[in-house]
């Protein structure tokens, strides 16, 4: 089984690649795809790009050109729910485009090709991701959550996150890629999981600090046990 790994930031990808044997890199459409083996699983890891257009194209390439059979998006997110703390981890049950609005033609947030607002992530793969996140968080103060992740083409500052909380009260976290990955995977019939560590509450300095200090450690620490579990399936 071949697993595709998407990471928006180089700090995250580099940490994941540290565990790869025989990393072979290939430049396609401006993206460097790394093929190798990790935890005895064939994997293809790539920087997704930031924002929904970039990640949609990268996801399509992973599926169509590299034949991946499962996709995991790893990265950071801003906290929407007030219950989440920095360093907590969210495994998405579903993802929603918070900036998609084709009303009155379609209901707000509805993805017309799928006829849903909340695009579900794969239950089985997300269960493996949850166990991997719990293994990583074990012994630390970090908590692991399951729930709705929302995505849009903006980095949201605190006032915008407050508005989003009013609009989508069950959203746990906000980022810029998840809904696009979930949509492309659902359209193609490829199981996907989305795992996000909380880096900020809209503060750009908190985001930058988490990225430098923690994002790589989280990405590697979650992807390694997840690939191990995929290898056992």
Q: Rounded to an integer, what distance in angstroms lies between the CA atom of residue 27 and that of residue 23?
A: 13
What are the start-end ranges of the H helices in 67-144?
Answer: 123-137
Applying CB under 6 A, the span of 20-28, 76-84, 135-143, 213-221 interacting with ligand ADE comes to 76-84
Residue whose CB is less far from ligand ADE, 35 or 165: 165
Locate tokens 């996801």: which residue?
Answer: 59
At residue 163, φ and ψ (nearest 5 deg) are: -65, -40
Task: Kindly give, in sequence order, each residue whose CB lies less than 8 Å from that of residue 193, ignoring residues fewer than 6 positions away.
Answer: 70, 71, 72, 73, 91, 92, 121, 122, 125, 126, 128, 129, 226
CA of residue 65 relative to chain centroid, distance: 20
Q: Does 90 bind ligand ADE (CB under 6 A)?
A: no
Per CB under 6 A, 77 contacts ligand ADE: yes
Q: Minimum distance between the CB of residue 175 and ligand ADE, rounded to whole angstroms?
A: 4
Shortest distance (Å) from residue 136 CB to ligand ADE: 19
Among 11, 93, 183, 199, binds ligand ADE (CB under 6 A): 199
Counting contacts by CB under 6 A, is residue 155 touching ligand ADE?
Answer: yes
150 lies in the site for ligand ADE, by CB under 6 A: no
Binding region for ligand ADE (CB under 6 A): 76-78, 155-156, 174-176, 199-200, 202, 207
Residues annotated as catalytic (active site), given as ranges: 12, 200
């Amino acid at each position: 089984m071949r697993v595709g790994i998407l990471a928006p930031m180089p700090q995250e990808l580099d940490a994941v690649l540290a565990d790869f044997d025989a990393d072979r890199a290939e430049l396609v459409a401006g993206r460097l795809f790394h093929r190798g083996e990790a935890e005895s699983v064939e994997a293809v890891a790539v920087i997704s790009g930031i924002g929904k257009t970039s990640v949609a194209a990268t996801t399509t390439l992973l599926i169509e050109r590299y034949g991946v059979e499962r996709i995991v998006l790893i990265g950071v997110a801003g906290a929407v729910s007030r219950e989440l703390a920095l360093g907590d981890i969210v495994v998405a049950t579903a993802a929603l485009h918070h900036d998609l609005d084709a009303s009155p033609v379609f209901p707000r947030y509805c993805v017309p090709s799928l006829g849903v607002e909340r695009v579900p992530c794969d239950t089985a793969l997300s269960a493996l991701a949850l166990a991997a996140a719990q293994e990583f968080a074990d012994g630390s103060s970090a908590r692991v959550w399951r729930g709705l992740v929302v995505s849009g083409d903006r980095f949201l500052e605190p006032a915008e996150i407050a508005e989003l909380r009013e609009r989508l009260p069950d959203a746990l976290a906000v980022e810029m890629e998840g809904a696009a990955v979930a949509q492309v995977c659902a359209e193609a019939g490829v199981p996907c999981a989305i795992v996000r560590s909380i880096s900020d509450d809209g503060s750009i300095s908190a985001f930058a600090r988490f990225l430098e200090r923690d994002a790589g450690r989280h990405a590697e620490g979650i992807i390694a046990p997840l690939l191990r579990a995929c290898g056992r399936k």
